[in-house]
Structure 1
C-alpha cells in the first residue's frame, strides 16, 4: 500500500531546549486509520503540527504526498495545506460567523464561487447532523455541536489526510463515539485519518485501526494494528 506520509529520523526542538521529538520514523498508508496516543507532554501535538505543516522539523525528513515537505517553497504551502484537514481540540471556530459560514470558510479562502458553496455546505451540515443549526453562531452551540461544525469545516474540501488533536477531549462519552463515527465514515471514503487521543476507551472502536504511541518524544509500536478489535464497527 502506498504511503501518504513518511517520517525519517525526525527531530523537533523549540529554541535551544531539549528535543520535543527525537528520531521519529514511521509511514502512514493511504486510506488507513491511526490513533496517536501517549501521556501529556509526550509530543503528540508537536507531531501533528509537523503533519499539517504548522511546524518544520529541526532535523530529519517529513515527506507528504511523495514530496519533501521541508523543501517546499512557501508558494506551494497553501496548496499542500488544502489537501490536509485539521480538527483542533479547542474548535477554533470564528465566533461572529454562523455555523454555515464557518464551514464555508475554507471554500471561500480557496476562491470557490458562492454559487458552488451552498450545496457542499448543506451536505456537510446534514452529514454532522446539524441541518437546523446552520444560522447559529458558535457561542450558542453546545461543545459537541461546535466540534461537529469544526469537523465539517475540516473535511469540506475533501482532504486526503485528516489530522485531529484530542477531538473528543471536551465532549461526553456518547458524543465522543458519535464524533469517532464521523471520522470512521470519512476514512471509509478513502481519507487517511490520524486521531490523537488519551481516551483508551475509544481505541478498539475502529477495527483494523493502527496505534502509534509516543513516550518522551519517541515513538513506540508505529505500525501495529490494535489488538482484539470488536467484530463490528461503532
Structure 2
C-alpha cells in the first residue's frame, strides 16, 4: 500500500501554532523531511514536541505558515480529503488509542482492512508482526487486559503494519524495558530502509546513539534547532524502491 515519493516528503515554512489566545507554542518552524530519512525529535518536556507531531500527522492546523505533505498543501486541503492523506501515515500515539473492544490482532489488522486487504492476505502479516513485538501469545487479548508496555507494542505494530510513507512516533519506547526499546527501534530502522521516513519524538538521549544514521531536530521553547543538519540535507544513503 506504500507509494514511492521523490523529492521532499514534508515541508514546513515559518509555521506558528497557538492554542486560543495563549502565546505561541511553536514559533517560526521551518524544515524539510526527505524520503528514507530517520529523524529524532528531542527537547525538554513542554518544548512543543507533541504539538509539532500533531501538525505532522494532520490532527492540528497551524495558526500561520505553510505545510506541504506528500506534495499536497495541507493548509488548504478540504477536510473531506484529509482521510486519504492520513492513510499514507503511520502514527504511534503516547496514549496508544487502541480500539477497546477489539483484540490485539484486530487492532493491528485495522489499517489493512481499511485499505481493502482480504482476511486471507492479512492474517499472516499481522501474526508475524505481533510475534516480532513479543505478543504472539496475546493476539486475542483486548487492550484492557494488556499491560502498558504491551499496549504500546500493539500500537506500534498497528502503525507500521501497512508500511506507511511517513511514520510519526511520540515517545514510542516510554513504556517498555530497554531491551524491547532497542528491538522496536530496529523495527523502525527496517521500515526506514524500505523507504519510510521516520520521525521519533523522545526525551531519552540514550536512544539517539542507537540509530547511527539518524538526524536530530531539537525543540527548545517552541523553536527548532538543527544540530546534525537534519533540516537541510537529504538522506545520506539511497532509498530502496517500495
1:221 aligns with 2:226: yes
Q: Considering only aligned residues, what root-mean-square deviation do their CA atoms show, in Å? A: 1.7
Which residue is equivalent to 2:84?
79
Within 1, Cα distance between the matches of 2:180 and 2:128? Answer: 20
- 1:183 positional shift: 1.2
* TM-score computed with the length of structure 2 as normaliser: 0.87
Output the CA distance in 1 between the equivalents of 2:227 and 2:76.
25
Q: Of 126, 133, 136, which aligns to 2:138?
A: 133
Secondary structure class of the residue paired with 1:49: helix
Q: Which has the higher contact order (CA 8 A, sep 6+)?
A: 2
Could you tell me whether the CA contact under 8 Å between 1:144 and 1:175 is conserved in 2? no
Cα shift at 1:138: 2.0
Match of 2:68 among 57, 63, 72: 63
Structure 2 partner of 1:163: 168
Among 6, 9, 13, the alignment partner of 1:4 is 9
Separation (CA, whole Å) in 2 of partners of 1:86 and 1:174: 22
Are the aligned partners of 1:37 and 1:44 in contact in 2 as well (CA < 8 Å)?
yes
Unaligned regions of 5+ residues in structure 2, if any? 1-5, 231-242
Out of 203, 213, 217, which is 2:208 matched to?
A: 203
1:182 aligned to which of 184, 187, 193: 187
In structure 1, list runs of 5 or more residues that go unmatched. Answer: 226-234
1:19 to 24, 36, 44: 24
Cα gap change, 1:66/1:48 in structure 2, threshold over 3 Å: closer, same or farther? same
Inter-partner Cα distance in structure 1 for 2:197 and 2:62: 21
Which residue among 147, 171, 178 is the counterpart of 1:142? 147
Q: For each residue in 1:26-58, what CA deviation from the matched residue of structure 2 results, as whole angstroms up to 9, or x when unmatched?
A: 001111000000011111000000000000111
Bigger mean CA offset, 118-127 vs 180-189: 118-127
Q: Name the counterpart of 1:231.
A: none
Q: Find 1:28's aligned residue among 28, 33, 50.
A: 33
Match of 2:49 in 1: 44
Structure 2 distance, partners of 1:188, 1:127, is 17
Q: What is the aligned partner in structure 2 of residue 94 from structure 1?
A: 99
The answer to whether the 8 A contact 1:26-1:223 is kept is no
TM score, norm. by length of structure 1: 0.90
Measured in 2, the distance between the counterparts of 1:127 and 1:2 equals: 32
